[in-house]
Amino acid sequence: MGRAAYIRRRLILMAFVLFGVTVVIFGMVRILPGDPAFLILGDRATDQKAAELRQQLGLNRPFLEQYWMFVSAGFAHGDMGQSLLYRQPVGDLVLTRVPITLALAGYAMGLAAIITLTFGITAAVNKGRWPDQLIRVGFLFALTTPNFWFGILLILLFGLTLHWFPVAGFGETFPQHVWYLFLPALTLALQLSAVLIRNLRGQIIQTLRSDYVRTAHAKGLSERLVLLRHVLRNALLSTVTIFGLQFGFLVGGAIVIETVFALPGTGQLLIQSITARDYPVVQAITVVSAVLVIVVNLVVDLSYSFLDPRVTYE
């Protein structure tokens, strides 16, 4: 099976995964306690007005009928419906927030890659010595610390004490976006790197014992060249796999971090929508997040053949 056939098969599987996601999230948001009609009406709510609003929004219809309308009349045609809370198209509402969340996730992944390579290689080549011990202890602390608490620590230190970075908002220009997103992205990257560094360190140490590495040293190649050309490319395969698998947790963590740093991304919108029982918005954000996770995992799988030409898609 070539790469093109593999991609086609994965896209077909993606359709089934998305179908399962829509079924699960459609059912879960409707078993949450609370009546969205009363939440929308607020102090003006009466039984009669709530009944009229439920009929207007189609919330009084049977569950299967609501799901069929959501899939056939809406989702299948790219129409995610109307927000119950904001009274505007869900697609427009979500798409204005998605770039911020994507920027945060991409920024965090970039920082995580830099941190992982720097400290993973340093720990591996200094196995058992003080740099290795210091890196392992430091990132073990990052791994066991809740990301929202770690974000608050960064705000207190670099924002309120040292005044190096802003602690809330997104900025207006691209340089401001990069500056404002640094602390939240670093918060996500440190916890992600804690997982990746442990794996990369172990893989590099194991690869350094291989016969072909000893042969490369015997040929007179420099330590740096052997490490970059022969060791790192092979050691990265499992780390890249974990990197892709952790992306789903990264998206979930971004929801919390956006709230901590007051970023106007999908995280804030999702929390507000869950509180208000705004079903269409919750469903749309969940589906978009699922698509992002699936696409990233597909890209990770395709990257194997570039890291190691021996990898095929048979």
Neighbouring residues of 36: CB distance < 8 A, sequence distance ≥ 6: 57, 59, 84, 276, 277, 278, 279
Please report the pLDDT score of residue 178 as a whole number.
86
Can you give the pLDDT at residue 234? 74
What average pLDDT does the structure give for the chain?
77
Instruction: Give the pTM.
Output: 0.76
**Tokens, residue 88:** 């505007």
Question: 22: pLDDT confidence band, cut at 50, 70 and 90?
Answer: confident
Give the confidence band of 245 by pLDDT, cuts at 50, 70, 90: confident
Q: Please give the pLDDT value at position 5.
A: 74
DSSP assignment of the chain: --HHHHHHHHHHHHHHHHHHHHHHHHHHHHSSSS-HHHHHHGGG--HHHHHHHHHHHTTTS-HHHHHHIIIIIIGGGT---B-TTT-SBHHHHHHTTHHHHHHHHHHHHHHHHHHHHHHHHHHHHTTTSHHHHHHHHHHHHHHHS-HHHHHHHHIIIIIIIS--S-SS---SSHHHHHHHHHHHHHHHHHHHHHHHHHHHHHHHHHHHTSHHHHHHHHTT--HHHIIIIIIHHHHHHHHHHHHHHTHHHHHHHHHHHHHHTT--SHHHHHHHHHHTT-HHHHHHHHHHHHHHHHHHHHHHHHHHHHH-TT----
Q: What is the pLDDT of residue 96?
A: 83
What CATH number has the domain spanning 98-275? Answer: 1.10.3720.10
| CATH 1.10.3720.10 domain range(s) in the chain | 98-275
Summarize pLDDT for 51-91 with one digit per residue, the tens.
766 676 666 677 677 677 666 655 655 566 677 677 777 77
Give the confidence band of 102 by pLDDT, cuts at 50, 70, 90. confident
Radius of gyration of the chain measured on its C-alpha atoms: 24
The pLDDT score that the predictor gives to residue 72 is 65
Quote the pLDDT of residue 20.
Answer: 79
Query: Stretch 9-36: mean pLDDT, rounded?
Result: 74
- The amino acid at residue 178 is V
What is the rounded CA–CA span in Å between residue 192 and residue 115? 10
Per the CB < 8 A criterion, the answer to whether 177 and 137 are in contact is no
For the stretch 187-226, pLDDT in tens is 888 888 888 888 888 888 887 777 676 776 676 666 677 7
Highest mean pLDDT among 29-38, 240-249, 264-273, 302-311: 264-273
pLDDT tens digits, one per residue of 129-186:
888 888 888 888 877 778 888 888 888 888 888 888 888 878 788 888 888 889 899 9
Q: What pLDDT shows up at residue 217? A: 65
For residue 37, pLDDT beyond 70: no
pLDDT at 43: 63
Residue 74, pLDDT score: 59
| Of the listed ranges 102-106, 166-170, 212-216, 286-290, the one predicted with least confidence | 212-216
* The most confident of 59-63, 267-271, 303-307, by mean pLDDT: 267-271
